[in-house]
Copies of this chain bind each other. A is one copy, B any other.
Amino acid sequence: MSRSTVSRAFTRPDLLKPETVEKVLAKAQTLGYVPNKVARALSTGQNGVIALIVPDIANPFFPPLIRAAQVDADRQDFCVLLGDSAENPAQESRLITRFTPQVDGLVLAASRLDDAALAEHARRRPVVLINRDVPGMPRVLTDSHTGFMQAIAHLAELGHEHLAYVGGPPGAWSDHQRRRGIAAARTDHGMTLTTFQAEPATYDGGKATVEAILASGATAVLAYDDVVAHGVLAGLTEHGVRVPEDMSVVGCDDVFAATTYPPLTTISLRCAEAGEIAVSVLLDLVAGRSVGDVRHSLDSHLIVRATTGPVPRA
């Protein structure tokens, strides 16, 4: 049996007698034979590999996204090359350049690169953005807007009048988006808003803002994400402030909010779906199946758990 037949059994089974195909596949199974993608890539120009670059693998927002991306890519017979940019634009650019020759396309999550650099890289290979809104580039966004609207309505109902927002990484699309959404919603409800900055946007950064929050007189805090929210919770507790009796706290992401104690009221973002969709769009692009200005916006919603309550009586 010639190599051509084997090759066809894998790539164009329709050109072969079904029983032949089956025979080849069976034999391959027992032999543990798998077509070599590298060799195939050389001849077709398609490597069957995509890259996924995130700012920080260990940030709990990303693992579900990464997993979904990997699973979805695998389903379409693609592998994923993972890169961690350490929140560093230079490192991110270096990784992209390094990956580009050996992948068919890239997914860039929460890219720290500027629009021009992004466009430049996108000229060499198809690129799909996650949580970065650059017109003209395919992008999927976990939109926190609805969730924050609901959170603020929820807090308004509980009688809160003064909110604090603890912001995340300056320049991040997701932080901008939250700031804008919150500003709009609190106006609708005639609430006061004071904003702070978790520096860095981590547990410790969140914790460090607590003193300032307390001084501001806010009775409810909206955090950039669940990690920051937990930092705030810890800081509050250290200051003897009870949650939710004395202060309400709302997180964002819903990545581990449910699996910690106390259960955090938070905004659920569809982060896994974002990974999945980004991969689907990218593979459509790679296969030349898609066109147009793709802008996938995934909505969010508030999940009330145990860290929000009525405003304390002054």
Cβ distance A165 to chain B, nearest Cβ, rounded Å: 20
B101 with A34: CB separation less than 8 A? yes
B58 with A63: CB separation less than 8 A? yes
**Chain B residue contacts of A64, Cβ below 8 A:** 58
A258 with B203: CB separation less than 8 A? yes
Q: Say which residue of B42, B56, B63, B230 sits within 8 Å of A39 (CB atoms).
A: B42
Interface flag for A12 (CB, 8 Å): no
A82 with B80: CB separation less than 8 A? yes
Q: Which A residues are within 8 Å of any B CB, using their own CB?
A: 32, 34-39, 41-42, 47, 49, 56-58, 60, 62-64, 66-67, 70-71, 74, 79-84, 86, 95, 97-102, 124, 203, 227, 230-231, 233-234, 237, 256, 258-263
Q: Which residue of chain B has its CB nearest to the CB of A257?
A: B260
Cβ distance A221 to chain B, nearest Cβ, rounded Å: 14
Task: Give this chain's copy count.
Answer: 2
CA–CA, A57 to B54, complex, Å?
14
Known: A34-B97, A259-B227, A261-B234. A84 touches B71 (CB 8 A): yes
A38 with B41: CB separation less than 8 A? yes
**Chain B residue contacts of A63, Cβ below 8 A:** 57-58, 60, 62-63
A-B contact pairs, 25 of them (CB 8 A): A32-B124, A34-B97, A35-B101, A36-B101, A36-B102, A37-B102, A38-B42, A38-B47, A56-B67, A57-B66, A58-B64, A67-B84, A70-B82, A71-B84, A71-B86, A79-B81, A79-B98, A79-B99, A80-B81, A80-B82, A81-B81, A230-B260, A231-B259, A234-B263, A256-B260
